[in-house]
């Protein structure tokens, strides 16, 4: 990576303040990198070069006057094409979405970034309506892995993970309804946080209900904390948002590697033997756990002890998908991803009583995890049981699986419980494909999850070779 595209958001802001370089220089370099990344892996729905340069010039003027608009003034950001960004269509990966506007609203997190002076590079790819754990759609095609474009970047925020990994902006906004920031973060070698539900306001409300979270996708936990300080600002359009965060998320990282000393951490390597984890993944995750012990945490192997809630998740998820497409015409339905069409039909066949039974499972799981965290501050698991597989498939070839939920057992349970969870890069397999370790905290403990993740970065757990750009 060139010097400017390799810098973190934190380093960019420090450079602007010192006058070492300008937002215009950074934006030009990052736009060039975005075009290269898009050519390599299909990370973008669109790149807004002229608009980004205009925003960068305005930011440069503010920095020259010593009047930055906010903590990320002049920092290039990308936005998953599920979230509204005024001035252009939000296609959500679907031919069923028309170009016709008006496209005159920002999602809350986008609005907070705009107020803070961020430079918007463009919109990143997503599967249709973010329905699955890989990123391909009938409208925009498939997004490849930054380390091997013949493999998937993961999903559903795969475009964002690929953009961040390849230097096309240090900050991206993703969404996560069943693992959709953590899955691609693990596959692409970056950091991601699914915050506690309601910590980042959402509008319009997701059809997937309170499973869907907005979260930061960055190269490290420090940048994620910076982004969280911006996007957690209140927005009256979200009736389910939490109150203001009690403290700065960046401030929570001040202890560095000391941030885990004294924590009680449960390590569940395979959910009590229920999940088959690839040996190289298991070994890399265990090394990260050993680092936590060396940093002063008390770690013991302990499993939360819940049954796989996948059927309840399917009821909630498939019903949400059916709701998205409820009013589609026959032509619109025929344009859908065949897998999405299948789950919509499944969801439409489920009753209100089925849905409420799934809610009961969800509540019981939340109660169980609440009790678990009375003993343990954090739960650590692999983010994914394996590394990135073949591009353009919902499930690994030859696996015998049908749906994406079968290979993501560590992610979707914590959407059901609304807990904060991060994915920290912790190594690569023999093919050079990234591996992630997941840190899960009790509800509202976002700062703790970020602090422990940052401690792993400080201790070197996430040292990696950047992916090739050409």
Decide if pLDDT at 374 tops 70: yes
- Tens-place pLDDT, residues 119-137: 999 999 999 999 999 999 9
Is the CB of residue 376 less than 8 Å from the CB of residue 266?
A: yes
Q: Which of 137, 94, 169 is nearest to 333 (CA)?
A: 94
For the entire predicted model, the pTM comes to: 0.98
Known catalytic membership, residue 180: yes
Q: How far apart are the first and last CA of the chain?
A: 11
Q: Is the pLDDT reported for residue 470 higher than 80?
A: no
Task: State both tokens at 373.
Answer: 């965290």
**Of 210, 159, 205, whose CA–CA distance to 185 is shortest?**
159
What's the rounded mean pLDDT across residues 407-416?
98
Reported confidence tier of residue 2, pLDDT bands at 50, 70, 90:
low
For the chain, the average pLDDT equals 97
Which listed residue (80, 123, 132, 194) is catalytic? 80
Domains in the chain, CATH or no CATH each: 3-458 (3.90.1300.10)
Per-residue pLDDT band at 465 (split at 50, 70, 90) = confident
Could you read off the pLDDT of 6-58 as tens digits, one per residue? 999 999 999 999 999 999 999 999 999 999 999 999 999 999 999 999 999 99
For the cut 80, the answer to whether the pLDDT of residue 247 exceeds it is: yes
Question: What tokens appear for 371 in the block?
Answer: 């009790």
Of the candidates 63, 115, 124, 119, the residue with the CA atom closest to the CA atom of residue 231:
115
From 156, 160, 161, 411, active-site residue: 156
Q: How far apart are CA 15 and CA 6, in angstroms?
A: 13
402 is catalytic: no
Tell me, yes or no, if 156 is annotated catalytic. yes
Give the DSSP H or E segment for 189: none
pLDDT at residue 464 tops 90? no
Segment 375-395 mean pLDDT: 98
Model confidence at 1, pLDDT cuts 50, 70, 90, reads very low
Spot the catalytic one: 94, 116, 180, 319. 180
> Could you read off the pLDDT of 276-330 as tens digits, one per residue?
999 999 999 999 999 999 999 999 999 999 999 999 999 999 999 999 999 999 9
């Amino acid at each position: 990576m060139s010097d400017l595209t390799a810098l973190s958001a934190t380093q960019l802001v420090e450079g602007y303040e010192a006058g070492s370089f300008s937002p215009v220089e950074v934006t030009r370099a990052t736009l060039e990198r975005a075009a290269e990344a898009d050519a390599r892996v299909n990370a973008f729905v669109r790149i807004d070069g002229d608009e980004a340069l205009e925003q960068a010039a305005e930011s440069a003027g503010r920095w020259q006057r010593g009047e930055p608009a906010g903590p990320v003034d002049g920092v290039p950001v990308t936005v998953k094409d599920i979230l509204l960004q005024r001035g252009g269509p939000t296609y959500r990966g679907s031919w069923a979405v028309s170009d016709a506007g008006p496209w005159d609203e920002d999602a809350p997190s986008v609005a907070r970034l705009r107020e803070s002076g961020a430079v918007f590079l463009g919109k990143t790819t997503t599967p249709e309506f973010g329905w699955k754990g890989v990123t391909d759609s009938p409208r925009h095609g498939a997004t490849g892995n930054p380390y091997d474009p013949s493999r998937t970047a993961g999903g559903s925020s795969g475009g964002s993970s690929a953009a961040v990994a390849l230097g096309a902006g240090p900050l991206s906004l993703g969404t996560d309804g069943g693992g959709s920031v953590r899955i691609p973060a693990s596959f692409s070698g970056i950091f991601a946080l699914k915050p506690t539900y309601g910590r980042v306001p959402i509008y319009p409300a997701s059809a997937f209900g309170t499973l869907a979270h907005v979260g930061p996708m960055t190269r490290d936990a420090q940048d994620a904390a910076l982004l969280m300080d911006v996007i957690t600002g209140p927005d009256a359009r979200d009736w389910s948002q939490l109150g203001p965060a009690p403290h700065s998320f960046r401030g929570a990282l001040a202890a560095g590697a000391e941030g885990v000393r004294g924590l009680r951490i449960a390590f569940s390597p395979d959910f009590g033997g229920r999940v088959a984890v690839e040996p190289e993944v298991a070994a890399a995750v265990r090394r990260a756990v050993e680092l936590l012990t060396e940093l002063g945490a008390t770690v013991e192997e302990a499993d939360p002890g819940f049954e796989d809630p996948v059927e309840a998740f399917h009821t909630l998820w498939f019903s949400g998908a059916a709701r998205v497409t409820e009013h589609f015409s026959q032509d619109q339905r025929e344009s859908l991803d065949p897998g999405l069409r299948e789950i919509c039909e499944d969801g439409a066949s489920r009753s209100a009583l089925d849905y409420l039974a799934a809610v009961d499972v969800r509540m019981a799981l939340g109660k169980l995890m609440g009790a678990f965290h009375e003993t343990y501050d954090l739960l650590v698991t692999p983010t994914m049981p394996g590394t990135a597989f073949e591009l353009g498939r919902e499930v690994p070839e030859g696996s015998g699986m049908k749906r994406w939920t079968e290979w993501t057992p560590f992610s979707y349970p914590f959407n059901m419980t609304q807990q904060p969870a991060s994915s920290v890069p912790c190594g690569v397999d023999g093919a050079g494909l990234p591996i992630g370790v997941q840190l899960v905290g009790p509800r509202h403990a976002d700062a703790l999850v970020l602090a422990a993740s940052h401690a792993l970065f400080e201790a070197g757990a996430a040292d990696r070779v950047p992916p090739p750009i050409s």
